[in-house]
Amino acid sequence: MTNRVDCIRATNKPLPHQRILALGGTRDSDGQRWRISQREIVGYIEAGCEFVVFLQGQWLPLRVATDALGHKYVKTDLDPGLHPNSLMALDELPAR
């Protein structure tokens, strides 16, 4: 099952694993909206779930990255460095 990411809850913190608190989007299977923490998405990806985002005219999978201190976070292949800059361009996750 693929999950489409279309928004994030961002912070102003400088470290890559702290820049995104949560992500939101829809499930392909039924169109149901969801929102979960970045930590939860890391776990889902590591368990084999797929999350994709539409950026620069293409669907890209979210990848789990690990910083030098061992903190895990998500980013895309458009982000060659440490920071998830492409995801930071997404709309802000609406308040509950």
Cα 82 to Cα 88: distance, rounded to the nearest angstrom:
13
Looking at residue 1, its pLDDT comes to 66
pLDDT band at 73 (very low <50, low <70, confident <90, very high): very high
Cβ atoms of residues 32 and 24 within 8 Å: no
Domain count across the chain = 1
Return the C-alpha torsion angle 59, 89, 49, 36, nearest 10.
Answer: -150
Q: What is the pLDDT of residues 15-68, one digit of tens each?
A: 889 899 999 999 888 989 999 999 999 999 999 999 999 998 999 999 999 999
Please state the separation of Cα 90 from the chain's center in Å: 10
Count CB atoms within 10 A of the CB of residue 88: 13
Domain containing residue 54: 2-92
Residue 80 has pLDDT above 90, yes or no: no
DSSP, residue by residue, 30-73: T--EEEEEHHHHHHHHHTT-EEEEEETTEEEE-EEEE-TTS-EE
Looking at residue 37, its pLDDT comes to 96
pLDDT band at 90 (very low <50, low <70, confident <90, very high): very high
pTM, whole model, 2 decimals? 0.89
